[in-house]
Amino acid sequence: MLALSAEMAAEGAMLIERVLPAEPSGFRQWDHYPNGDAIDPNSTARWFYHAHPPEQRGSNEHGHFHIFLPLSALVGVEPLHRPEKDDAVEVVHVVGLNFDCDGLPTTWMAVNQWVTDEYLMPAEAIIARLDRLVLDDAGIDKGIDKVGRWLTHALRYSRPDIEAILRERDAKLATIDPRDRAYEILSTRNFALD
């Protein structure tokens, strides 16, 4: 992860800069970057980056990645909740990763089901499949596969934190409705390097 960060810096474009439009005026809140998401051709796991309006994010938050496993990775597991849309993408949200305005990762987060309108799967089922969450070639068709490789390393490095927030998410979901918009982020952990 650190070696990739150094490599990207030497090339003159850090992680977030590789994802966003070249012209700052081309960046729009809520849009997914890259367009169509970055999908790994082998694992079919995916990610996208986006930002909320300033009044809906932390004071120094720029935006965040959403990271998904394909629904096919959880065949045979009964969802805790299904998407409302009939044409919903067949994905399972694993975790989000916030970045600050300096382009540095700050916090991992688990969100409520309505946020991504995906197949909400039990934490233990997701945890059992985290090794399948490989994003190494996600974005290779868009020339941004280094971002996917960086995310794969970050997920491996932070696995204990990701497992913890998924379990905390499920504990919170046991007390609320997954469609209740009063609850958006259900659990967080700081992104920290030892």
Percent of the chain, pLDDT > 90?
Answer: 74
Measure the CA angle with vertex 15, ends 97 and 95; round to 5°.
Answer: 15
| Structural domains in the chain (count) | 1
47-95 confidence digits (pLDDT tens): 999 988 877 777 788 999 999 999 999 999 999 999 988 888 999 999 9
Choose the weakest-confidence range: 26-30, 39-43, 98-102, 103-107: 26-30
Range(s) of the domain holding residue 22: 2-190
